[in-house]
Amino acid sequence: MKVTCDTCNGEFELKQDMLKETYLGAMITETYFNCPICSKKYLVCINTPRARKLMTDFQKCAASGNNIKAEQLRKELKVEMDRSNGKSAY
């Protein structure tokens, strides 16, 4: 994915190996990347234990073909990720 830095306006290709994780305590981690030009930090998401469990359960249901349960878990995961990342429910 092509990204343009808000600080230096540098353009770069965001790759999976650029993502970093930091443990924040209480089993909570933040995922982020830094601009390779100016090093500005961009937060991708905050992961909670509940979000990790929902993601694991979703992947198991999707792999086994239980699409109804997988869709329910996907919705729960979205709500949890929005809540932990400070996004409004509106």
Residue pair 32/44 in contact (Cβ under 8 Å)? The answer is: yes
66/84 same-domain check:
yes
Residues 53 and 83 in one domain: yes
- Residue 69 domain boundaries: 49-90
- Tell me the C-alpha distance between 13 and 7, whole Å: 16
Q: What is the pLDDT of residue 88?
A: 64
Q: What are the strands, taking DSSP E only, across the chain?
A: 2-4, 11-13, 20-25, 28-34, 41-47
Shared-domain flag, residues 39 and 76: no
In this predicted structure, the answer to whether residue 89 has a pLDDT above a threshold of 90 is no
* Residues 48-72, mean pLDDT to the nearest whole number: 93
Query: Which pair of tokens denotes residue 77?
Result: 């995961």
> What's the DSSP call for residue 87?
-
Average pLDDT, stretch 46-73?
93
- Domain match, 4 and 21 both: yes
Per-residue pLDDT tens over the stretch 8-25: 999 999 999 999 999 999
